C-alpha cells in the first residue's frame, strides 16, 4: 500500500471510530507504529485529523450551526498556528483561553504539556485539555451557555475571570487592523476577551491571514497590548510595520 492510499485508509478508520489509538491503527493496517505516527503528523499538517497523545481524531467540528463549519475553514493554517503557538508555554503556567476554532486546534496541542492551569469559557477546550492525563488543572467558567459553540458568556463569566491571575491570555481574532487592533463580531465574546486580557501578564493572539485588514464591530484591544501574534503568513506591510512599532513579537508558523 503506497503512502497516499495508507493515509486515506487511516482517515477512513478515524471517521468510522471517531478516535483511534496508534497501536490500534498499527494492528489494523499491519504496519509499524513509527509509520503510523509519521502518517498522522502529515495528516494533521494537512488539517485532516487532530492528533492527541497516543492517537488521532477527526478535526473538532462542534455543534450543528455556523461554528461547526468555521472549524473547517483554513484548517491547515489553524493547525500550523496551533503547533507553533504551543511552543510558547511551559509547565507551571496559568493560561486564560477564549472560545474559537483556532483555540480548539491549539487545545489539542496544549494537552501534551503537563502541570498547566487552564481557565476557559469553552466547554470543548475544557474537555480536550482534560481528556489526556497530564496533571493539569482545568477551570470552566460559568455563565450564559451558547449551544452553538459550547461557550459561556455574560456578566457571570466576566466576573469569574476577575478571580484569576494568569501568565498568559490566549485569544482568537475576528479581525485585525492598524487603526483599532483586535476586534470581534460578537459583543459577548469581546467582553470575555477583554476581561482575560486585564487578568493576564502576556497576551498571545492566534490569527490566520484571512483576518488581516478586516473590521469587526467590537474592539478587543489595541496592537500595543499584544505580546505575541502567531499567524500562518506574514501580515501585509502596513500591519507588520504597526505590529513592530507596537513591540509585538511576530511568529509565522513554519518559519
What is the reported pLDDT for 77? Answer: 84
What is the reported pLDDT for 60? Answer: 58
**Domain around 14:** 3-57
Q: For residue range 207-230, list pLDDT tens digits in order.
A: 999 999 999 999 999 999 999 999
Verify that 41 and 114 share a domain, yes or no: no
Burial class of residue 93, CB neighbours in 10 A (0-12, 13-18, 19+): middle
Binning pLDDT at 50, 70 and 90, where does residue 65 land? very low
**Chain centre distance of CA 188:** 19
Mean pLDDT of 194-213: 97
Verify that 71 and 52 share a domain, yes or no: no
Mean pLDDT of 61-88: 69
Verify that 134 and 53 share a domain, yes or no: no
Rounded to the nearest 5 degrees, what angle is found at the Cα of 197, between the Cα atoms of 76 and 193?
A: 60
pLDDT above 50: residue 64: no
pTM of the model: 0.76
Verify that 51 and 112 share a domain, yes or no: no
Q: For residue range 79-129, list pLDDT tens digits in order.
A: 889 999 999 999 999 999 999 989 988 998 898 899 999 999 999 899 888
Verify that 27 and 83 share a domain, yes or no: no
DSSP 71: T
Verify that 90 and 71 share a domain, yes or no: yes
Q: Which residue has the higher pLDDT, 159 or 133?
A: 159
What is the reported pLDDT for 175? Answer: 96
Verify that 188 and 221 share a domain, yes or no: yes
Give the domain CATH number at 179.
3.40.50.1360
pLDDT above 70: residue 132: no
Q: For residue range 225-250, list pLDDT tens digits in order.
A: 999 999 999 999 999 999 999 999 99
Residue 192: which residues within 8 A CB-CB, separation 6 or more?
98, 99, 121, 153, 157, 158, 161
Verify that 70 and 51 share a domain, yes or no: no
**Chain centre distance of CA 254:** 16
Question: pLDDT averaged over the chain?
Answer: 89
The residue count of the chain comes to: 255
- Out of 72-76, 129-133, 136-140, the most confident range is 136-140
Q: For residue range 157-169, list pLDDT tens digits in order.
A: 999 999 999 999 9
Please state, in angstroms and rounded to a whole number, the distance separating the CA atoms of residues 93 and 34.
32
Provide the 10 A C-beta neighbour count for residue 192. Answer: 29
**CA neighbor of 61 nearest in space, from 116, 27, 14:** 14
Q: Which residue has the higher pLDDT, 48 or 66?
A: 48
Verify that 53 and 94 share a domain, yes or no: no
Torsion angles phi and psi, residue 125, rounded to 5: -65, -45
DSSP 224: G
**Total tally of structural domains belonging to the chain:** 2
What is the reported pLDDT for 62? Answer: 42
Give the domain CATH number at 35.
1.10.10.10
β-bridge partners, 177: 181
Please state, in angstroms and rounded to a whole number, the distance separating the CA atoms of residues 248 and 40.
33
Mean pLDDT of 42-70: 70
Verify that 155 and 110 share a domain, yes or no: yes
Verify that 37 and 161 share a domain, yes or no: no
Torsion angles phi and psi, residue 175, rounded to 5: -160, 160
Cell 459561556: give the residue: 152
Q: Give the helix/strand (H/E) hosting 168.
A: strand 166-172
Verify that 224 and 247 share a domain, yes or no: yes
- Of 27, 57, 87, the position where a domain reaches its end is 57
Amino acid at each position: 500500500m503506497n503512502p497516499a492510499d495508507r493515509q486515506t485508509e487511516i482517515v477512513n478508520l478515524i471517521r468510522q471510530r471517531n478516535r483511534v489509538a496508534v497501536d490500534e491503527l498499527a494492528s489494523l493496517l499491519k504496519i509499524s507504529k513509527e509509520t503510523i505516527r509519521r502518517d498522522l503528523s502529515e495528516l494533521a499538517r494537512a488539517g485532516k485529523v487532530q492528533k492527541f497523545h497516543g492517537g488521532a481524531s477527526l478535526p473538532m467540528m462542534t455543534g450543528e450551526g455556523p461554528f461547526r463549519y468555521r472549524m473547517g475553514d483554513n484548517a491547515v493554517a489553524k493547525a500550523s498556528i496551533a503547533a507553533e503557538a504551543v511552543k510558547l508555554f511551559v509547565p507551571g503556567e496559568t493560561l486564560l483561553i477564549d472560545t474559537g476554532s483556532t483555540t480548539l486546534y491549539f487545545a489539542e496541542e496544549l494537552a501534551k504539556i503537563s502541570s498547566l492551569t487552564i481557565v476557559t469559557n469553552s466547554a470543548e477546550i475544557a474537555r480536550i485539555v482534560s481528556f489526556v492525563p497530564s496533571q493539569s488543572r482545568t477551570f470552566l467558567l460559568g455563565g450564559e451557555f451558547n449551544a452553538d459553540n459550547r461557550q459561556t458568556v455574560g456578566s457571570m463569566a466576566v466576573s469569574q475571570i476577575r478571580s484569576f491571575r494568569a501568565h498568559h491570555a490566549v485569544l482568537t481574532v475576528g479581525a485585525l487592523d492598524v487603526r483599532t487592533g483586535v476586534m470581534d463580531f460578537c459583543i459577548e465574546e469581546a467582553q470575555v476577551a477583554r476581561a482575560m486580557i486585564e487578568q493576564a501578564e502576556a497576551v498571545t493572539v492566534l490569527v490566520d491571514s484571512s483576518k488581516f485588514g478586516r473590521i469587526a464591530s467590537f474592539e478587543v484591544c489595541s496592537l500595543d497590548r499584544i505580546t505575541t501574534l502567531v499567524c500562518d503568513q506574514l501580515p501585509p506591510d502596513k500591519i507588520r510595520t504597526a505590529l513592530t512599532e507596537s513591540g509585538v513579537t511576530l511568529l509565522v508558523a513554519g518559519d
